[in-house]
Structure 1
Amino acid sequence: MFKGITGNVIILGLVSFFTDVSSEMIYPLLPLFLTGVLGAGPVFLGAIEGVAESTASFLKLISGIVSDRVRSRKGLVLSGYAISSLMRPLIGSAGTPLTVLLIRTGDRVGKGIRTSPRDALIADSVEPSMRGKAYGFHRSMDHAGALVGPLIATFLLAYFISDLRQLFWLAGIPGIAAVLLIIWKVQETRQVLQPGRRLHLTALPAGPLRRYLLILFLFTLGNSSDAFLLLKAGAVGTPAYRLPLLWAFFHLVKMLSTMPFGALSDRIGRRSVIVAGWCVYALSYLGFGLARSEVEIWLLFALYGIFFGLTEGVEKAFVADLAKEAEVGAAFGWFHFAVGAGALPASLLFGSIWQLEGGAAPFLFGASLSGVAAILLVTVVKVPSQCRH
């Protein structure tokens, strides 16, 4: 099952697991803390997430480019995880919404610093023919942490503590474990070093990779925040107390599907699996637009989770396949920047269409864009012979 997955990939998977346990002990409760304890409104909550994620997207681009120019990707990975792990539990000391904004932004600064170098380090650590499986494993561990974190938080709040601030401080423990794992176990495996080159921040990679990233940006414009799916679930009658269970089920499907589909892409090719995933996305969004019952919502969340299994790890493996060997970090920087740049307008578009045209229209819009993106990926992005498996 784990054949071809190196020690570095396993350790980085555990790092992501512990980091997501820490993050997801806090994140689902953050809206309640902001509105119920600190008195913030929904507009300020949106501002926090917008500023934090935009900061992370830009830094992912910078850190990816920098990681190709320095001698240690591990140093960037360590510093990014350390910043996030130190900042995140400080929410327990916040006395104002503005303080939460600063802490949350600091947390995302760490994410921006670590993400692209980490993905490049994974590419450095495995054979090209095993990248799909490696990224699938990493994403499955990430989703496992996202599943376990809320369950731990629920258990602690139900039986041991009643103060959200105490819970936020305790969430720092798995974050510290992640940092220690990097220090003790992650090995630098640089294969190519290009020191002294100037940073080119305005030029997208050329060739098939550029076309792929532009098409991915188009797809992302139709891929809105998953919060709208939870809103849809509530609109068809799913009770509030079952929404966390639905969310946990969603993460379970993602966790179980990412590694098998990543390994499949090693055998039949990345592009085919990504196209299949985008088609599954279109079907699931059409279904969400037409859904009228809670049972349908649960089935659609399962289908939507399979979309993640088909695409999350495989899209990253495809970036590594298409990138020049000396510019893998920069390629991941542009990849994350393209996704981040599309995410904010995607949610704004989705919300605007929902408000103007009703609940079904925005899902039809997202499904249509994913279909167009799938057609373009097949017709426009020619896969180099060395990338076919």
Structure 2
Amino acid sequence: MARSLLEKLRKSLGLELNVAVLGFTGFLISLGMGVWLWFLTLYVVEELGASSVELGIIHMVSLLCFIAGGFFGFLADSLGRRPLIIIGTSIYSLILIFMGLSRSWMELALLMGFLRFIHSCYIGSIMAMASESVEHNKRGSALAFVNLMSYAGLIPAPYMGSWLHVIYASYQKHFIFGALLVAIAALVRTAFLKETLCQKVQPKAYLKELMSRASQSLRNTKLRYLIAFSAIYAFSANLTIGVQGLWLLYATEVSKLTSSDIGLWGSIYQTCFMAIMMPAGKLIDRIGFKKMLIIGIPCEALASALFIYARGLPQVTLISVLDAVFSSIDIVALQVAVATTSPSEYRAGALSLYSSAFYGASSPSTYIGGSLYAYNKQTPFLLSAGLEALTALLLLKMPREDGRST
């Protein structure tokens, strides 16, 4: 019965089965993640007694662990995408339970690091499976849909998190609720996902073979440039530790938002972030990823610079919506760029390397941003804006979709 309902829904939306399953399970995971993620800063500061510097350390440790998982993406190019996705999702749900039982910010940092590591092991497989389940000229739309659904749960999540806090007067139950939703997603993926890697190209996953695939991918000049560019962009953008990091702290400490304001602001932000993804994906399929990045990155920089002047909910929301729209565009454009540049035999590994570079570069950035915020609250936003503006200049050498560079 569940399979027939999924088939009807898939056909009504014109989606491939894998894309539909990855999208709708991504919604469950993002809903479970958003319930605790939007309140992570408050949980760390209020219940675990951490400062803004220690908040930066937590994000630094967790993002640094993302680097190690990139290598395991090449397992998906040998063993298949499906096994890594299912195993990774299952372990993800277990880690959330232990995060809810944390008794110190250091313990939470280690668990978040493990969570990021597991996520990095299979995120490349998800992007590879989605891009391989459709025709070449529909990859932007497929990746946009998976990304859209993977963020859609973050829209109702802040309100659900607020109600959980009202009921339990603690943020710890948020993690248990999230673990339950992720476990359901793991079961659905086990039941419905179909492998996209052809059996005839699956070698034995020995260490030597994995290293060979990693080396092969890095000999791709265009791919090397894209990975390096992604790392530089991520370092610049994440000096503010994202909207759930210093943006949230600044909004409560300087812009004077209340807890109810934060719930409304979070839902509006995630709605805009999500709503732009499908149009952006279709536009990327039509005009290419490079032009979209040329538009998106400078606008992100502008939003970061303007945020220091935001006072009250209307101004905070308006400026953060600008960030939501163009950061969403940039994320999809970079994923399409890497998926298009890398051939099938090492696509999952290449996308994992991209994720590792992206989040790995964010690791020191979050620590630096947290430290600068303790010194001056406006500095991380201005520095992030300036570096993003400089990063945009590198787009002049960004490879075209046809392999040339300008």
TM-score calculated relative to the size of structure 1: 0.87
Aligned partner letter, 2:73: G
- Residue 161 to residue 233, structure 1, CA distance change in 2 (3 Å): closer
1:6 aligns with 2:25: no
Q: What is the CA-CA distance between 1:133 and the residue it aligns to?
A: 1.1
SS at match of 2:340: helix
SS at match of 2:74: helix
**CA–CA distance in structure 1, aligned partners of residues 56 and 12 of structure 2:** 40
Counterpart of 1:15 in structure 2 is 25
Q: What is the CA-CA distance between 1:247 and the residue it aligns to?
A: 2.0
**CA–CA distance in structure 2, aligned partners of residues 272 and 138 of structure 1:** 22
Q: Could you list the per-position Cα deviations for residues 152-188 of structure 1 after superposition, in whole angstroms to 9, with x for gaps in the alignment?
A: 2323443x54454445333332112101111111111
**CA–CA distance in structure 1, aligned partners of residues 181 and 28 of structure 2:** 5
Counterpart of 2:59 in structure 1 is 49
More displaced stretch, 323-332 vs 165-174: 165-174
More displaced stretch, 16-25 vs 297-306: 16-25
- Decide whether the 8 Å contact of 1:21 with 1:150 is kept in 2: no
Q: What is the CA-CA distance between 1:330 and the residue it aligns to?
A: 1.8
SS at match of 2:38: helix
Structure 2 residues not aligned, in runs of 5+: 1-10
1:118 aligns with 2:135: no
- Decide whether the 8 Å contact of 1:258 with 1:312 is kept in 2: no
More displaced stretch, 263-272 vs 140-149: 140-149
**CA–CA distance in structure 1, aligned partners of residues 314 and 35 of structure 2:** 27
Q: What is the CA-CA distance between 1:287 and the residue it aligns to?
A: 1.6
- Residue 93 to residue 285, structure 1, CA distance change in 2 (3 Å): closer
- Decide whether the 8 Å contact of 1:270 with 1:314 is kept in 2: yes
Query: Could you say what the CA RMSD is over the residues aligned between the two structures, in angstroms?
Result: 2.9
1:68 aligns with 2:85: no
- Residue 134 to residue 170, structure 1, CA distance change in 2 (3 Å): same
Q: Could you list the per-position Cα deviations for residues 106-128 of structure 1 after superposition, in whole angstroms to 9, with x for gaps in the alignment?
A: 43332122211111111211112
**CA–CA distance in structure 2, aligned partners of residues 85 and 346 of structure 1:** 27
Q: What is the CA-CA distance between 1:135 and the residue it aligns to?
A: 1.3
1:369 aligns with 2:387: yes
- Decide whether the 8 Å contact of 2:65 with 2:360 is kept in 1: no
Q: What is the CA-CA distance between 1:339 and the residue it aligns to?
A: 0.7
Instruction: Decide which of 104, 107, 110 is 2:115's aligned counterpart.
Output: 107
Q: What is the CA-CA distance between 1:323 and the residue it aligns to?
A: 1.0
Q: What is the CA-CA distance between 1:4 and the residue it aligns to?
A: 5.7
Aligned partner letter, 2:84: L
Aligned partner letter, 1:251: Q
Aligned partner letter, 2:151: H
Aligned partner letter, 1:182: R
Q: How does 1:293-332 map to 2 (within 5 A)?
A: 294-332=313-351
**CA–CA distance in structure 1, aligned partners of residues 306 and 32 of structure 2:** 33
1:199 aligns with 2:211: yes
Instruction: Decide which of 178, 182, 188 is 1:175's aligned counterpart.
Output: 182
Aligned partner letter, 1:27: L
**CA–CA distance in structure 2, aligned partners of residues 36 and 231 of structure 1:** 12
Q: Could you list the per-position Cα deviations for residues 80-103 of structure 1 after superposition, in whole angstroms to 9, with x for gaps in the alignment?
A: 100011221233444555554454
Counterpart of 2:7 in structure 1 is none
Aligned partner letter, 1:288: F
Aligned partner letter, 1:209: L
Aligned partner letter, 1:245: L
Counterpart of 2:228 in structure 1 is 214
- Decide whether the 8 Å contact of 1:4 with 1:130 is kept in 2: no
- Residue 334 to residue 205, structure 1, CA distance change in 2 (3 Å): farther
Structure 1 residues not aligned, in runs of 5+: none
Counterpart of 1:281 in structure 2 is 300
Q: How does 1:96-175 map to 2 (within 5 A)?
A: 99-158=107-166, 160-162=167-169, 164-175=171-182
Q: How many corresponding residue pairs?
A: 383
Counterpart of 1:382 in structure 2 is 399
Q: Could you list the per-position Cα deviations for residues 208-265 of structure 1 after superposition, in whole angstroms to 9, with x for gaps in the alignment?
A: 2211222222222211212222233235433232123212211111011111111110
Q: What is the CA-CA distance between 1:295 and the residue it aligns to?
A: 3.1
SS at match of 1:188: coil
More displaced stretch, 22-31 vs 246-255: 22-31
- Decide whether the 8 Å contact of 2:86 with 2:189 is kept in 1: yes
